[in-house]
Amino acid sequence: MASLPDKWTKALLAVPFVLYSQPHGVLEDPDRSADTLSQTREEAHRRYSEIFRDIEAMIDDHIAHQNDAENPFPSKLKLLVPSIGPFFTRLPLEAAFKFQDNKRYISSRRFVSPSFNDIRLILNSAQIMAVTTYGTLQLATFDGDVTLYDDGQSLEPTSPVIPRLLDLLRKNVKIGIVTAAGYTTADRYYARLHGLLDAMANSADLTPSQKQSLVVMGGEANYLFEFDSSSPHLLAPVPRQHWLTPEMAAWSEQDITQLLDVAEAALRDCIKTLNLPATLMRKDRAVGIIPVSPEIRIPRESLEETVLLVQKILELSTVGRSRRVPFCAFNGGRDVFVDIGDKSWGVTVCQRWFSQKEAGPHGIIKGENTLHVGDQFLSAGANDFRARSVGTTAWIASPAETVELLDELAELMGKKMS
């Protein structure tokens, strides 16, 4: 799904804020100030709503253009925002703004204009309204760290995320946990997800089919595990030949090895040049750097520099220029890794896996029926970013926001079913 640039949207909202915020009202008589605040809040709300309604109309026009293969002309939105891509669904932005305004009191603010976080949450609300109103949500995929649990932590039994994920399974929504964590054995994923896996195993109201509706895709798109109540760690590895897409099956081991060799050399150079307190870690489908000690935090700027440098070196390398094997260089918050593939491939595998396992009435799970929830969409090393090309997305900033999003989603799905 295409994403509206936050700076562009903020700029549109800045005008009514400047004209109607009335910050001088704090100096007025309290009784008069209350009337002024009410009037300016209503006017600001009206103007903000109009702007989101106009953007919504431009997106509708953009979708009409993208669906008309014979129309050679760009949409108005494409002319205004040349970087904009395709949309999987309409976005009811005006309704989403009104929902978030009731929660965040955006129109009532006098000194703080509509922020990046306001716009991010409005877009999230619009997207989940869309996937529940204009279609049926069939697949929800989630990042791990910072999305389901705090960075470097695990999904504990007391996590409020767990009952909400179980509720999705009860509603027959498939779940894929698409994480950068690249473990080859089930015990490592059980250690990170044991709260959810144990809850599923012990659930009396989940059917066997619903319990089979969860998979873990590790290393971005390299290791697939499905729920298995008979396994000691409640997950069973799925052999690669059973789930690789035709495109992924064409990636040669020689190219993969060559790409990782180039990445490894670049990472070693970064450790030396930036004097990073890090050590190199090589896996069969990834290579990265981690702190020499768990107590050490590498500065964010150093991690970002490493990502950008390694990414550029790979893009300019012989194997990178060939584009035969996609890769993802990303900042994990504490480390930097280069993975073969990226989350667009991981989400695609989840879509195809559930479609071929369970040929239901909807057929293949499409982008408009998929929602990916993650925290990394902003920087160059943001590995959730590429999932936008295969499904709708929601950008959260913490597990607490994931809980709020899932509550909002459950309410919307409940209204649709009723």
Active site residues: 143, 145
Contact (Cβ atoms closer than 8 angstroms) between residue 321 and residue 312? no
Distance from C-alpha of 135 to C-alpha of 145, rounded to nearest angstrom? 29
Q: Say if residues 97 and 52 touch (Cβ distance below 8 Å).
A: yes
Q: Where are the beta strands (DSSP E) in 245-359?
A: 278-282, 286-291, 327-331, 336-340
**CA–CA distance, 3 with 393 (Å, rounded to integer):** 9
Distances (CA, A) of 244 to 49, 248, 282, 341: 45, 6, 22, 12
Residues 92, 89: Cα–Cα separation, whole Å: 9
Closest CA to 237 of 257, 256, 219: 219
Q: Is 266 exposed, middle or buried (0-12, 13-18, 19+ CB in 10 A)?
A: buried
* Beta strand spans in 275-334 (E): 278-282, 286-291, 327-331
Angle (CA) 137 148 239, round 5°: 75
* CA gap 48, 14 in Å, rounded: 9
